[in-house]
Amino acid sequence: MTNGSLPSTPPLLCEHPLDQAKQDSFRVVCGVCGSFWDLESRAADIAYDASYPAERGHFDPRVGALKMRTLSHWLDSADVVVKGKRVCEVGFGGGTCLPLLAQEARHVLGIEANATTIAHAKQAGYRAELLLIDELPARLDEPVDLWIFQDAFEHIPDPAPFVDWMRDNSSPGAEILLVAPRADSLSQTLMGRLWLHKLPDHLFHWSQRGLVEFMSKRGFALRTDFFPLKYISPQMAIAHALHKAGVADGARKWLGGTALAVPFNFGEMGLVFRAASS
């Protein structure tokens, strides 16, 4: 790990002093909490256009079925209640979890940065209010009781104003279920560049401490944490590896169904935050 002048690097999203950060190979690591910028990912050019969800299999019903199974497991593991609540999934991707939430929620909202995913969800007829992140109103019609991030928080380039907006649009005691790659996970430490979450669109990786402190400053206290297991099939694992290696989508067409699925963790953390009552 080296000190000295860092490459052109913006402030750390965890909001700890940049002058305490150090460069370690492709990373600029926070000296306080261990969160880090990925310099190689910052140099990449990723467009959230129609190709983005297609290349990642977001609209594949086999992937969607496992996402629903995974979310149900997370809700149970974290003791998070959906029934009767106004629920918002941020970064809903293919949208397959929106109907699952609508089965028990009083109202479901979905927020996305990609207009293609909004159009897909509308065409699918999902029972949810769909919002583009660049067109969010300052105030929603009603406050949200439960926010859900399934590997989405790490995609927000400037999370501070967004979380402030969430707080302004949260009911007293509202909760956040958040699953994200963990910067200080054992798999990240051991795998380095081979870590499955080292992707061009993952610019900043949060440590658990960094994220907990960041959310606490904005009125969301940690209620509990849990070890988030994802249900994946061998085909999904291979597809993810091929995508990470830059193999074109057409090379993955041979992948079969998802009859066999096993719980796995790639170095993610699961956190539940609760808004302070006002």
CB neighbour list of residue 140: distance below 8 Å, 6 or more residues apart:
109, 169
Closest CA to 163 of 38, 174, 20, 267: 174
3-state secondary structure at position 35: coil
CA 228/CA 180 separation, integer angstroms: 9
Q: By the 8 A CB rule, do 93 and 66 touch?
A: no
pTM listed for this prediction: 0.88
The CA distance from 90 to 187, in Å, is 26
pLDDT at 245: 53
Strand stretches in the chain, DSSP E: 22-24, 27-29, 36-38, 86-90, 107-112, 129-132, 144-150, 170-181, 204-205, 220-226, 230-232, 262-264, 268-275
> How far apart (Å, rounded) are the C-alpha atoms in residues 106 and 83?
7
Residue 256's pLDDT is: 46
Those residues of the chain that have pLDDT short of 50 are 1-4, 250-252, 254-258
> Which of 85, 100, 271 is CA-nearest to residue 174?
85
What's the CA gap between 178 and 78, in Å, rounded?
10
Q: What pLDDT sits at residue 255? A: 46
Q: Locate tokens 């960041």: which residue?
A: 214
Condensed to tens digits (0 to 9), the pLDDT of residues 225-262 reads: 999 999 887 665 555 555 555 555 544 454 444 456 78
